[in-house]
């Protein structure tokens, strides 16, 4: 009977991975915002004329956003040592150059609908993927 309990717990964890991941993702995104404030002197929500998405610990924060057509999204690398890129799938625009710590990548979304994007070096191994829904 004692061998069954760990198997059941592993099965439940596999069936509901979202719950564990959400807490971890929230903590990572909280750290990312703290890094942003430390680096740029104010919250990302106060960036003028753009919507900011931070890149931190192989995550986009937030991973999903909704913006009006014509909005520029600014991805900001707040990691300490890792570079990231952005590829907006289906846009016809090539993958961005790598953004090193404290560097930014910008893209203006004109076409309505959901648009997936990913980090070229980390989407497959780290599942670093996001989505912008353009209204």
Domain extents for the chain? 4-134
Q: How many CB atoms lie within 10 A of CB 24?
A: 11
Decide if pLDDT at 42 tops 50: yes
Q: What is the pLDDT of residue 23?
A: 79
Decide if pLDDT at 5 tops 90: no
Helix 4-15 vs helix 17-40: angle between axes, to the nearest 10 degrees? 60
Q: Topology of domain 4-134, per CATH?
A: Immunoglobulin-like (2.60.40)
> Can you tell me the distance from the alpha carbon of 83 to that of 121, in angstroms, rounded to the nearest whole number?
9
pTM for this prediction = 0.82
Give the model's confidence band at 39: pLDDT under 50 very low, under 70 low, under 90 confident, else very high.
very high
Q: What is the pLDDT of residue 21?
A: 54
> Can you tell me the distance from the alpha carbon of 11 to that of 7, in angstroms, rounded to the nearest whole number?
6
Decide if pLDDT at 19 tops 70: no
Q: Stretch 53-62: mean pLDDT, rounded? A: 98
Interval 60-108: pLDDT, tens: 999 999 999 999 999 999 999 999 999 999 889 999 999 999 999 999 9
Give the model's confidence band at 53: pLDDT under 50 very low, under 70 low, under 90 confident, else very high.
very high
Q: Which sign does the torsion angle of CA 4, 10, 14, 18 carry? A: positive
Question: Quick check: 105 and 88 in contact, CB under 8 A?
Answer: no
Decide if pLDDT at 16 tops 70: no
């Amino acid at each position: 009977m004692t061998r069954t309990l760990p198997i059941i717990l592993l099965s439940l964890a596999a069936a509901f991975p979202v719950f564990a991941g959400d807490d971890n993702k929230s903590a990572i995104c909280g750290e990312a915002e703290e890094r942003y404030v430390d680096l740029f002197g104010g919250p990302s929500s106060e960036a003028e004329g753009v919507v900011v998405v931070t890149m931190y610990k192989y995550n986009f924060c937030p991973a999903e956003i909704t913006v009006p057509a014509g909005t520029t999204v600014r991805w900001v690398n707040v990691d300490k040592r890792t570079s990231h890129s952005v590829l907006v799938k289906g846009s016809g625009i090539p993958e961005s150059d790598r953004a090193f710590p404290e560097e930014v990548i910008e893209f203006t979304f004109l076409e309505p609908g959901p648009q997936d994007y990913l980090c070229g070096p980390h989407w497959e191994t780290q599942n670093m993927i996001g989505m912008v829904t353009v209204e």
